[in-house]
Amino acid sequence: MKRLLFLLIFSFLMVACKKDSVDASTTRSFQSSINDMASSLNTLQQVKFNEALYILKTFGVEAEGDVNELNALGKLINGMKVPQIFALADQVAQRNGIDWSSTGPPSLGEMNIFGEEEAKESDPNDISASSLGLTVTPTAQDSILGPKSLQIVPRLLDNRGNAITFSGAALEVTMEVFSAGTRILTAKNLMTDNNFKGFSLRFASLPASKITDGKIDITVSAKTAKKTFKMSKIGVPVNQKALLMPAGTPVDTQLPTTTDPTTDGTDVPTGTDTSPAVPTADPKASVTKFLNSLSSQNLRGAYDTADNPAWGSYESFSNPTSGFGAVKSINVKNISTTNTAAGSASVDATYDVTDKSGKTTALQVTFGLKNVNGEWKISSYKIN
């Protein structure tokens, strides 16, 4: 009887000592608390719990290498309980475009964030491939702006260059974007089969100030159980009109330089006013004229309201594919002057653009203007 009572008390103490939240004070306590939490779940929940931890370790923290990722994960989820970990993993998966949810069926195989000694014979990530193929396609075509993103799709290939068919895997895929040797963006995702949709790279996520010669280099790696495959595309052109522009007045970096006439060796007659003529009209009048001209398909009139080097020649400006030649009509919702100085101004406009195919796009645009001989000329055009 005493022995039975002792066993009951011992069992109670063992259960009472189990942790129901993450203790990341040390690596050992971290692993022990995770094991305790998992032991309270049924078999299906344990699999999903391990998947959630893998999602958070791989995509929820900014760190390089397994040890650093594990330490960062511990800091991220320290003190959390199982429902909180599931909720956070759902958010991270959704934010990274990963087809996973805590309420769905197991989809990533056997996951262990603390590592395994070696890949098992039945490991779905143990895929025999020869190389990694990579296709880059401009997407999200806009009749005014042009392509707004690139779709980057990697494929595992056999030694003949054919795509390998597999399923049920959880291959960590990393995309890095460089320009002139400088890394400007990193993204991760999971490849579960060879129908992986890849990465959608929005030009608006790339700072224009970091792009050299309008080109980027893209490197994608896919990690199988035994080998990491890598492929790069060098010199991929970007749509510079769709890049992320620096904050502030759009014309700050485009104003012409002026020379102090008293220091350039030229005699200036006394009493002569050398300051440029200041426009008397509201800057938004020039923008209104520009939009009205576009809406009536008076492209020459619209072009004459601007002095914007980015738009190039009139032929480029009026091009029906890459310029404003595709515009059929414009419906202005709001237009207002947001900043005015002696030589520069900015105007915000909200309007709907309908192209000649009937597609309508809602735009919010900041126009930069500069003073040219007493007239406001559009010098920059930024879609917000």
Asked whether residue 110 is domain-assigned, the answer is no
Asked whether residue 224 is domain-assigned, the answer is yes
My answer on whether 83 and 171 are in the same domain is: no
- Residue 217 confidence (pLDDT): 92
My answer on whether 230 and 291 are in the same domain is: no
CATH number (domain holding residue 189): 2.60.40.1930
My answer on whether 137 and 227 are in the same domain is: yes
My answer on whether 300 and 363 are in the same domain is: yes
Among 185, 204, 239, residue at a domain's last position: 239
- For the stretch 92-150, pLDDT in tens is 888 877 777 888 877 665 667 776 544 455 677 888 888 999 999 998 877 777 888 99
Asked whether residue 367 is domain-assigned, the answer is yes
Among 210, 239, 268, residue at a domain's last position: 239
CATH number (domain holding residue 313): 3.10.450.100
Residue 10 scores a pLDDT above 70: no
- Residue 204 confidence (pLDDT): 85
My answer on whether 90 and 148 are in the same domain is: no
Residue 250 scores a pLDDT above 50: no
CA dihedral 313, 314, 317, 320 (to 10 degrees): -130
- Residue 95 confidence (pLDDT): 81
Asked whether residue 269 is domain-assigned, the answer is no
My answer on whether 198 and 290 are in the same domain is: no
Q: Pairing relation of β-strands 344-355 and 327-340?
A: antiparallel
Domain that includes residue 154, residue range: 131-239
- Residue 378 confidence (pLDDT): 92
Asked whether residue 105 is domain-assigned, the answer is no
Cβ atoms of residues 250 and 367 within 8 Å: yes
The tally of domains found in the chain comes to 3
CA dihedral 289, 290, 291, 295 (to 10 degrees): 90
Asked whether residue 175 is domain-assigned, the answer is yes
Considering just the CA atoms, what is the radius of gyration of the chain in Å?
30
Among 239, 264, 291, residue at a domain's last position: 239
- For the stretch 36-87, pLDDT in tens is 888 888 888 888 888 888 888 888 888 777 788 888 898 899 999 999 999 9
- Residue 109 confidence (pLDDT): 58
Distance (Å) of CA 293 to CA 299, 301, 304: 6, 6, 10
State the chain's mean pLDDT as an integer: 80
Asked whether residue 69 is domain-assigned, the answer is yes
Asked whether residue 255 is domain-assigned, the answer is no
Cβ atoms of residues 28 and 20 within 8 Å: no
Cβ atoms of residues 214 and 342 within 8 Å: no
